[in-house]
Structure 1
Amino acid sequence: MKILITGGTGLIGRHLIPRLFALGHEVVVVTRNPEKAHNVLGDRVALWKGLEDRQNLDGIDAVINLAGEPIADKRWTDEQKQRLCNSRWNITQKLVDLFHASETPPAVLISGSAAGYYGDLGEVVVTEEEPPHNEFTHKLCARWEQIASGAQSDRTRVCLLRTGVVLAPKGGILAKMLPLFRLGLGGPMGNGRQYLAWIHIDDMVNGILWLLDNDLRGPFNMVSPYPVRNEQFAHTLGHVLHRSAVLRAPATAIRLMMGESSVLVLGGQRALPKRLEEAGFAFRWYDLEEALSDVVG
């Protein structure tokens, strides 16, 4: 297949693209900076500089839409919130427009979303049918999914990736946590009781490949079947690193530092991958300690 990817230089894209090549697929990456993308992804990837000059997606068999500004890198000012939304909504709308303009549109659109779609639901076990809280992360993801779903037709199916915290080497949440934890300065966030829905990068990539190859559509929680509380995650990471992990970060200090975006670490989702498992997908990484040992190692 010839597969078009947005966000190809991001954490998930960097791991997904080599797997696609190994399976014999052809990959085209949409990028604002072709030189940077070439340096990251290598010679085998074809590059499109943006989508503005494209009239349709004829000749493309599938689209994987992973583009979006990192959500936790800056405080959520009104300007930053709009930037987070636009970086997801605009390119997704452009893709949907190109689907409609195509004589032979791609057979599938796999489009990003996040477990933050549900908001902070505390102890509630979250499957794809769970009604969400109406927080900023839900509004961002709900509109993102709504736009992507506009590509759905009798010729195109749409899959939505409600992704949890991705555990991977050299990137993601661990890139921020490891320096402190290696110094013995890590620990739980706030009361540590909030749930963290995590997924190993291998399972994330395998899940996308599964959706690419099977006749499925709709939202999918891209998370491990066993979410853990924040304090369990911190203690397990400390154990893997052979370091103490008892220095709790007070919720008040986190809110002062992060503002509204503190909900990303003080809230959480006890999300389960119900639809993926019902479809027959088999996870490789169930146990958090094994997953962290693999990634950190």
Structure 2
Amino acid sequence: MIGAVELGLIYAVMALGVYLTFRILNFPDLTVDGSFTTGAATAAILITAGTHPALATLAGGVAGLAAGVITGLLHTKGGINPLLAGILTQIGLYSVNLRIMGGANVPLLREDTLLTPLRDNGLLGGAVSIAIFGALALVVKVVLDWFLHTDTGLALQATGDNEEMIRSFGVNTDRTKILGLALSNGLVGLAGALIAQYQGFADISMGIGLIIAGLASVILGQAVFGSRVILISTLAVVLGSILYRVTIQVALQAGLDPNDMKLISAVLVVVALVLPKWGVFRRVSALRSLRRTAATSSTTGGA
């Protein structure tokens, strides 16, 4: 179970990237499946070539960022549908990733990585590793919170909410979309680089279906923990990533076939999307809204 929490915290970096496009930019980006592997492949091949693991990890993030820029350019400058633009980049990245790795798999078991000190000292799978991965996820969350409250971040939010309106104020929405997609896939590539070092290899198939895991983390987290403001939303995404991985682990321990993991992920997303629309959950949500309204009114009246 501790391993599931560790994975949940690392994958939270990827989930925050998905949140940036899915919730903030309102862009259905399927580049994720390819850019995750690109980040992992770039980091793995650089580490085997003798590059310092920290630089290799950052290079993985930059590679993911470049993938996001390509999707953004296809959509904004090429006029391609957002969904199709992501699919095209994802398909192209499959061949690119094979070229980067020179094959379907790059082992890292005998290489020094960022996690080698933890592994050598027996700290993986314990409180220390959870604290470190938790700190990493928290740093990414705080930086993302800060960015979304800057002028550029507010323009990014406005582009997702009402593109025509923000364009009327002179904002270049094409540039904003490219930036959002770049940052999102940069986080995804960074997560891929970390996961490759965590599991000891990079594989061409490691990103297949990953967008479902990202969406499950975002939707499940916000359904359970709320999504009223940015600070809460990003925290909900991190917690949702942990909840998703723990749920998967529980399902596997209960005897489900590992081959059914993608099906379990899809079911989790469906449940997270459907439950809030059921009567009892709508009433709970309405009650919460009434309480917030009453609290606001009493505060205003007291002032």
Same-fold call, TM cutoff 0.5: no
TM-score, length of structure 1 as denominator length: 0.27
Q: Which one has a bigger Cα radius of gyration?
A: 2
Higher RCO, Cα 8 Å, sep 6+: 2
Q: Which has the higher strand share?
A: 1
